[in-house]
Amino acid sequence: MVEFTTEPFELDTFPEHAVAARRVVDEAGLAVAVGPFGTGAEGEAQQVLDAVTKLLRETLDAGATRISVQLSVLDDDKTPEGVGTQ
């Protein structure tokens, strides 16, 4: 699973870097969840890693000045590994 945010934020328009990011995860076939402070996308490990590489390149090319990325390995229950386990 990858969670990401691209900046700069623009409240009046949907910036080109955000359009590029969404296109990349859609084209990768990832399950996407858009939130108010970022986007999450889920898929197989290699699929996610390939999408992150493309996302970084294409959002920077489209004008992003900052990209925050968090990768998590999910277990079978779709929760980050180690979270909520003892």
Contacts of 68 (CB under 8 A, 6+ apart): 4, 5, 7, 38
* Domains with residue ranges and CATH for the chain: 2-71 (3.30.70.930)
- Taking 60 as the threshold, does the pLDDT of residue 56 lie above it? yes
Q: Which two tokens stand for residue 73?
A: 């390995």
Averaged over 17-46, what is the pLDDT?
92
The confidence score (pLDDT) of residue 76 equals 65
Cα distances (Å, whole numbers) of residue 80 to 51, 77, 83, 85: 19, 9, 6, 10
The pTM assigned to this predicted structure is 0.79
